[in-house]
Amino acid sequence: MILQDERAKEAARHPAWLQPYLDSPEKQKQLYKKTLFIVILSQIFGGAGLAAGITVGALLAQDMLGTDSMTGFPTALFTLGSAASALLVGRLSQRFGRRTGLAAGFWGGAVGAAGVVAAAVTSSIVLLFASLFIYGAGTATNLQARYAGTDMAASTQRAMAVSLAMVSTTFGAVAGPNLVEIMGEFAHSIGIPALAGPFILAAAAFSLAGLVLFVFLRPDPLIVAKAIASEPKEENAVHLATEPAVNKRGIVAGASVMVLTQLVMVAIMTMTPVHMGHHGHELGEVGLVIGFHVGAMYLPSLITGVLVDKVGRTAMAVAAGAVLLAAGLVSAFAPADSMVLLVIALVLLGLGWNFGLISSTAIIVDATHPSSRAKTQGSVDVLVALAGASGGVLSGIVVAHSSYAALSLAGAMLSLLLIPMVIWSRRS
């Protein structure tokens, strides 16, 4: 009788649809696989939307403003928008689930992209800046979607889950920059400035990403994970590892690695198209370099995920610092007319970011509990976005008053700070 009463109380705590996932490890594994598939599909579209701002945002601002000193502002604006959106998406996800939070974020990014197109048509700087800020919602959501894949993952699967979500972004993110000329021609044919063309693609891509998540991400993995974590451990035979208490030092270490890698990557990446434009490179060549860069940001993720899970979070975070250092040195000393060296520099920059992001994401997931995980992840991504905004603003100012080489050397030196940070984390 007592056992029946306890089971009745457990059933009353959760909706009827949730109970099978609490009782069956096999259904949990099925949900893990289904969630990864849906996240991968949405990330393909999200990556295409993300690429527009990276590739032509600075060039569009340069064209409309007529000065180089403000060319870092587009990146700063959509990364500031990303910061605000990361907090909102994290809070929405914590309260209503990943499905609602992520879909809302992608649709916000689509509205922002459409606003950029309208700003280019009307030559409105105010509308451009406001729309770039809103466009940042898509950037934030594209990044936060990687967490959805970890909600139902065991501790030994988390880096791989992140890597699967990220590598799927490659398809859209690499295709996006290489569609710059095609979208520019299409935009010109319908009376829209060519540089706004990629934002037409971004509006459609972000809309589709949100639709995929809203329609198909059922049941919501975060809601299920929180319910599993709330169950009594002795009665809860699940495939997930027992969740630890919150590890604040782990959160600080993971956030620090993520912030530094984002700061260095955004600063150098933002000014590379402008640097190339000053030295006679065509828009197609800019798209090619950025395409290689974005590919390096995401394509190695499958290997990186395995390494982070097998070799360790700390070792891969140190590797991130070393690769970013090499990227800064190559970009600083490469001749401006050398496409090969520019590609190598930007590939290294993307690879270092990849190592840092996946290792630090795994550190943060390990250090959090499902009951507060999404909110914490959103807060960390706010810091990441603010770091990107700072890198975007400062990069334009540094290059305007010094040089692209000086900016790259500064990024190389900053990347060295990753090493003492992860050593401190390991000692902790």
245 pLDDT more than 80: no
pLDDT of residue 244: 55
pLDDT per residue as tens digits for the range 43-63 = 888 888 877 666 677 777 777
pLDDT of residue 374: 87
Q: What is the pTM of this model?
A: 0.75
3-state secondary structure 339-372: HHHHHHHHHHHHHHHHHHHHHHHHHHHHHCCCCC
pLDDT per residue as tens digits for the range 168-208 = 877 776 676 677 778 888 888 888 888 888 888 889 999 99
238 pLDDT more than 50: no
pLDDT of residue 67: 65
Q: Under 8 Å CB-to-CB from 100, ≥6 apart: which residues?
A: 92, 93, 214
How far apart are alpha carbons 310 and 4 in whole angstroms? 43
pLDDT of residue 38: 94
How far apart are alpha carbons 32 and 47 in whole angstroms? 22
Domains belonging to the chain, first-starting first, are 17-224+242-427 (1.20.1250.20)
pLDDT of residue 126: 87
